[in-house]
Amino acid sequence: MRVTNMKVYRITEGELHPVLVELQTDEGITGWGEAAVAYGLGAKAVAGMLADLAPKVIGADPQFPRNVYHDIYDNSFWTKGGGAIVFAAISAIDHALWDIKAKSLGVPVWTLFGASFQDEIPVYANGWNYRNDDVTEWARAVERPLRDGYTMLKTYPLAFRLPGGTLKHVTRRALTAEQFQMAVDRVRLLKDIVGNQAEILLDLSGGMNNDQLIRFMAVCEEAGVSWVEEPLDAFNTGGLRQMAGRWNIPIAAGERVYTRNGFRNLLETGGVDIVMPDVGNCGGIFELVQIAATAEAYNARVSPHNCASSLCTAVSMQAWMATANPMPLETYPYFPEANGYVQVLRDPPEDRIRNGRLEVPDAPGLGAEIDTARIAPFADFDYLDAAA
């Protein structure tokens, strides 16, 4: 079996802009993957990177996804030490290859890694208060996911809403006194409403200088927050080392870190308790499995970052099942309510969440059925057309 064509789809409507890749084979089996840059900027760039990488994939044997990964990694120059664009593209290719391999065998991807640790997949909810910029409504928005049965909830106490519906994080790590107090008031009121009904997770996106961070972490401890994510800028691994053990609260990081090599550097700081690789940009499914194994050796746990289309959720579930030390998987169950949202799957996993849990996927491959008619208008690249 050989890969005969690559197609790329770049969603340009709505607030999220997913980039999907389709790999076709000479045996009629098709695989799908996603480059996890749906939020923020970079969709056009990663679509171009996929087009650049296509010649390395065409003609490859999809039974051996790792061979393709290493051929790209070792022979594309900018992959070594590279960032989000190149590794998001590699990740999407990796997803599609594992999808093809597992479909050819009639099994889910996760079974190929030789483990079955869990009977179901716990998830947590994010994105439930994007529309609120005050204190009271921001905190009271939590009542909805609580009613829906979620027992772990994440939010951004420093962020504000942009007109397009996404978040604006802190610029230059400098909050005014008023902004700092608003963040404190948000967390305290949120804890009052949630009580012991659910765990609270806070993502700071590296938005505070040390003087404010020290005071804010005391508030997080007071509120019994279950983790604080990215307390420092993603590049500031030295700061994580210096602050290791300072807080009586778990520290999570890693959504902007790529490959097992990058996560080794992160874990060696001693300042991270939970690593958060994103299957759509860390290097792919097997790379996430290796990152999780590395974390296990450092006595850390893994909670995969997941903020893209529902296809990325389906891929994340496969990788989650293949790890021995996972924490709940991130989901955005209310994304489809946003204006212009393009649902790329016919059977999104988010529709099947019950009381904060998902059933173990048992369909062949990634277990995801692409809505090909819906994404067809967003076709961005076709290798055979480009080569003609």
DSSP notation for 233-296: -TT-HHHHHHHTT-SSS-EEE-TT--HHHHHHHHHTTS--SEE--BTTTSS-HHHHHHHHHHHH
What pLDDT shows up at residue 316? 98
What pLDDT shows up at residue 131? 86
What are the E-state strand segments in 91-183?
120-125, 152-155, 160-161, 167-168
**Full-model pTM:** 0.97
Helix (H, G, I), strand (E, B) or coil at 153: strand
Contact indicator for 129, 334 with CB cutoff of 8 Å: no
Task: Supply φ then ψ for residue 170, to 5 degrees.
Answer: -65, 135
Q: Which pLDDT tens digit goes with each residue over 357-375? A: 999 999 999 999 999 999 9
Tokens of 69: 């990964």
Q: Which pLDDT tens digit goes with each residue over 45-55? A: 999 999 999 99
Tell me the pLDDT band of 165, cut-offs 50, 70 and 90.
low
Residue 248, pLDDT > 80, answer: yes
The answer to whether 3-106+369-387 and 112-359 have equal CATH topology is no
Q: Which pLDDT tens digit goes with each residue over 303-355? A: 999 999 999 999 999 999 999 999 999 999 999 998 899 999 999 999 999 99
Number of CB atoms found within 10 A of residue 248's CB: 9
Contact indicator for 227, 201 with CB cutoff of 8 Å: yes
Tokens of 150: 């979620």
Contact indicator for 298, 267 with CB cutoff of 8 Å: yes
Q: What is the CATH number of domain 112-359?
A: 3.20.20.120
Residues 142-151, mean pLDDT to the nearest whole number: 98
CA distances in angstroms from 199 to 154, 171, 187, listed in the order given: 8, 28, 12
We find that the CATH architecture of domain 3-106+369-387 is 2-Layer Sandwich (3.30)
Residues sharing a CB contact under 8 Å with residue 351, sequence separation 6 or more, in sequence order: none
Domain extents for the chain?
3-106+369-387, 112-359
d(CA 118, CA 63): 26
Number of CB atoms found within 10 A of residue 23's CB: 28
What is the H or E stretch that residue 87 is in?
Answer: helix 84-105
Residue 166, pLDDT > 80, answer: no
Residue 222, pLDDT > 70, answer: yes
Residues 31-39, mean pLDDT to the nearest whole number: 97
Helix (H, G, I), strand (E, B) or coil at 359: strand
What pLDDT shows up at residue 164? 64
Share of the chain above pLDDT 90, in %: 94
